[in-house]
Structure 1
Amino acid sequence: MKKLKCLLVDDEAPAIRLLESYVKKVPFIELIGSTTNPIEALAVIEKEELDVIFLDIQMPTITGIQLSKIIKDKIQVIFTTAYPQFALESYELNAVDYLLKPFDFERFYSAVLKVKPKEIQNIQTDTNEFIFVKTDGKNNFIKVYTKDIIYIESLKNYVSIHLENDEIITYNTLKHFQNELSKKKFIKIHKSYIVALPHILKTDSLTVYLSNSKNLPIGDTYKKDFFETINKFMV
């Protein structure tokens, strides 16, 4: 899989060195550059195709918040700061995560797993597509937008639909959902799992890593079809 291209921006050199050491430990991240000057960062952003920027907030000339507003949705942002009071504003800017200094490698890695590669971001999905799922009771149904489904899990006679902040269990089969969702960017990776392609962060030969930090196994029977599908989005 193509590596995530990142830029580090922090006005303190020790913070830059720590982030660089963390980036080196993650095999799927490529460090494009680092700078203590937010103005220089803008030049790099214009020149390079970046996936994510690790961005300090309290900096001279331009704050991290201001820089984030300038780049808008061009690049995913992970804020790195010693000031917790900016957390709410950062999420209003749709930041991927907010790392409060000092943070360890484990916390850094959990943030990185939330970053979506461009080939996954660019998958087109209709935000209005939905299905109705039967719940308890003869005529009880709940609307589920397909863009919110991260993965679907077989539980013998039931199916669990995993959303970002919710889980819906319904009496049905995985095969039924496979037939219904096969043309909507979903793929079966295991006898017990169907995953949504837009929510895949990365994969190796054995495992799929999802946007909700869940890791799912890839069954031998499904590997060929799965990786053929993934290869269609390679750039």
Structure 2
Amino acid sequence: MLCRLLPAGFRNRQRDEWTADLLSFTSGAGTRWRYLAGAAWTLPALRHAARRGGFADLSAVAPVPDALTSVAHLFLLGLGWPVVSWLIMVPVTYLAADVPGRLARTGALVDPKSLWPADGPLAILLPLQLLLHTGAWATILGGPFLLGTFGAAGLVSAVVQRRRSGRYRLVIAGVGLACLALTVVAGLAWSYGAFHPGTPDLDSGRTAAVLGSAAGVLALAGRRLGARIRIALAALGVLAITVPFVHLTATGAAMLNWYLD
């Protein structure tokens, strides 16, 4: 059926290529269906290249965009950024800077931002500090704020993946912008509630734990993913799942309250 949608002079060549790929898979029908779904995605680019006369132009056709790989990359960036930022800015900074000792000695609040250099040559670290603070807050607030990190990840993917087709990059960018728009709306609503009676509750990492579970399932079930991607997804999933449990401990609650204060 896919080959019938291609120009007549090009069908046999493409049928041979797809058939050879399908016969090489040994992991079951599910893998073949995912491959065919990716092949269907490339049909417009293949038709365009064939009609230009050109079998020689086929090298310019973008590789089959594997939906599973794209989802894995979105998880690694969209969830990895906020969770790793939380790890660095909350528990690691709290323990490395000996915040409990400082509080005991001075009795004054220790602003997390004061622990980073803000002047001199090291002021170049301010963008990194902003990035880490934003990610840490997204983990703590959860919900639509984590959706925003996935939206940002989609925009980054659309920009850096230049070997993908233009349609693929536009779709990813559009999804990313939609996620960011929802995050802005949620942020405005949250800010309105924060300055009025009934301050909204914090997520404290529960959404991150749910997404971490999804990352773990993806690592276990995504057999077509490379070993490094699966290991990274599994490690990220474990880290994300531990976030709310850390906040339930006495030390974790103290760290969270310090960061929020």
TM-score (norm 2): 0.28
Q: Answer 1 or 2: higher relative contact order, Cα 8 Å, separation at least 6.
A: 2
Greater helix percent: which structure? 2
TM-score (norm 1): 0.30
Greater strand percent: which structure? 1
